[in-house]
Amino acid sequence: REEAEWHAVSNLADLEAELAKAGAEGRMAMLDLYADWCISCKVMEREVFPKVASQLRQFHLIRADVTSTGAATQALLKQFGLFGPPSLLFFADERELKAARIQGEVNASQLGQHLTSVLDQLRGTSQRAN
């Protein structure tokens, strides 16, 4: 099965560096906030992400592990006003597309439709009927 390539970050500086890379590549970025204790995160990693891997590969994928509750983790969550995982945030040109944010567990079909609409929006094809 095809794995998507994730770039791990543990603080805001790492995240900003990855967002800058995505911007330089002209790609959208998706940030996955993940924790070892988050059951929904595990379900999504095992059962959801593999089913939408071809769509995920169109994004620069970033994973922030917020398992430990240190200062760096708290700063990351606070930066985006999040209480914790699972949360998926989408970025274009290093800016979050706030309307595209997903909080909580989603299934493969929900995530697939969401990724398509985010990509279409970026390509300016959102006029197309769903």
What does pTM read for this prediction? Answer: 0.89
- Looking from the CA of 120 toward its CB, the CA atoms found within 13 Å total 12
Residues 33, 45: contact at Cβ < 8 Å? Answer: no
The pLDDT profile of the chain, 130 residues, written as one tens digit per residue, is 456 789 999 899 999 999 999 999 999 999 999 999 999 999 999 999 999 999 999 999 999 999 987 898 889 999 999 988 999 999 998 899 999 999 999 999 999 999 999 998 877 644 443 3
Distance CA 111, CA 119 (A): 12
pLDDT of residue 44: 93
Angle at alpha carbon of residue 32, lines to 28 and 34, rounded to 5°? 170
Task: Determine the pLDDT at residue 41.
Answer: 94
pLDDT of residue 130: 35
Q: How many helices (H) and strands (E) does the chain have?
A: 5, 6
User: Which tokens is 38 given?
Assistant: 């988050």
